[in-house]
Amino acid sequence: DQQVKQNSPSLSVQEGRISILNCDYTNSMFDYFLWYKKYPAEGPTFLISISSIKDKNEDGRFTVFLNKSAKHLSLHIVPSQPGDSAVYFCAATNRDDKIIFGKGTRLHILP
Amino acid sequence: NAGVTQTPKFQVLKTGQSMTLQCAQDMNHNSMYWYRQDPGMGLRLIYYSASEGTTDKGEVPNGYNVSRLNKREFSLRLESAAPSQTSVYFCASSERVSVWETQYFGPGTRLLVL
């Protein structure tokens, strides 16, 4: 059973617009959430995280929103740039346990 | 500062052959991990080592063994490769298990088992 779900395998967004990537989780014990970005032929890199005690965390063009009651988080990228084209993985953990990854969403930024 | 390095980058094996994937980190991290990534499956944890001298099973450990050789190195061994082990393997390290923001990944090893 998938504990972390990214239901959109791919997403295309015009350059300059907002990209919104979604993630749902089922395990209510998760209390820390992360987003990773992955380019082809490279390993994933950490992008941004959020603790369950917050509902928003912002870092430059990237903002993560957490809705605990809906067990849903989203990553907003504003404005989207060509270099944002990559696969984005949502991940969740209860900090001292293993981290669980979603299947990823491939983001295409269109010129 | 190389971060996390993996060798080899690419390998083709025949069913039943064995091989060891090597991983090393130069960040003085305590914890190290092996993941596999399959199309449409995301990253799944195979084994991890919370600290030097310890190893634990992850989500998909069957068919693999690991060795934490020292603080820097963590190897993954396939004793008898099977086509189902065709995948991209990523090694990662972090300061410790709970400090996930410090998890850095290597570039991956592409393994094809025929």
Q: What are A12-51's pLDDT values in tens digits?
A: 999 999 999 999 999 999 999 999 999 998 999 999 999 9
Q: What is the mean pLDDT of chain A?
A: 94
Q: What is the pLDDT of residues A9-19, one digit of tens each?
A: 999 999 999 99
Give residue A35's identity as a one-letter amino acid code: W
**pLDDT per residue as tens digits for the range B29-73:** 999 999 999 988 889 999 999 999 999 999 899 999 999 989 999
Among B3, B24, B7, B5, smallest CA distance to B111 is for B7
Chain A CB within 8 Å of residue B46 CB: no
Tens digits of residue pLDDT in A49-84: 999 999 999 999 999 999 999 999 999 999 999 999
Task: Give the mean pLDDT of A86-109.
Answer: 91
pLDDT averaged over every residue in chain B: 94
How much is the average pLDDT of A95-106?
A: 87
Task: Output the DSSP codes for chain A.
Answer: --SEE---SEEEEETTS-EEEEEEE--TT--EEEEEEE-TTS--EEEEEEETT-SEEEETTEEEEEETTTTEEEEEESS--GGG-EEEEEEEE-SSS--EE---EEEEEE-
Integer Cα distance of A103 and B48 in angstroms:
20
For residue B8, whether the previous peptide bond is cis, meaning omega lies within 30 degrees of 0, is yes
Distance CA B83, CA A30 (A): 34
Q: What pLDDT score does B1 carry?
A: 62
Interface of A with B (CB under 8 A): 4, 6, 9, 32, 34, 41-46, 49, 89, 91, 93, 95-104
Token pair for residue B79?
A: 């004793």
pLDDT band at A97 (very low <50, low <70, confident <90, very high): confident
Say whether residue B19 is in contact with chain A using an 8 A CB cutoff. no
- Considering only CB atoms, which chain A residues are within 8 Å of B101? 34, 46, 49
Helices (H), chain B: none
Choose among B44, B90, B101: nearest Cβ to A49: B101
Residues of chain B found within 8 Å of residue A102, distances taken between Cβ atoms: 42
Q: How far apart are CA B65 and CA A93, in angstroms?
A: 24
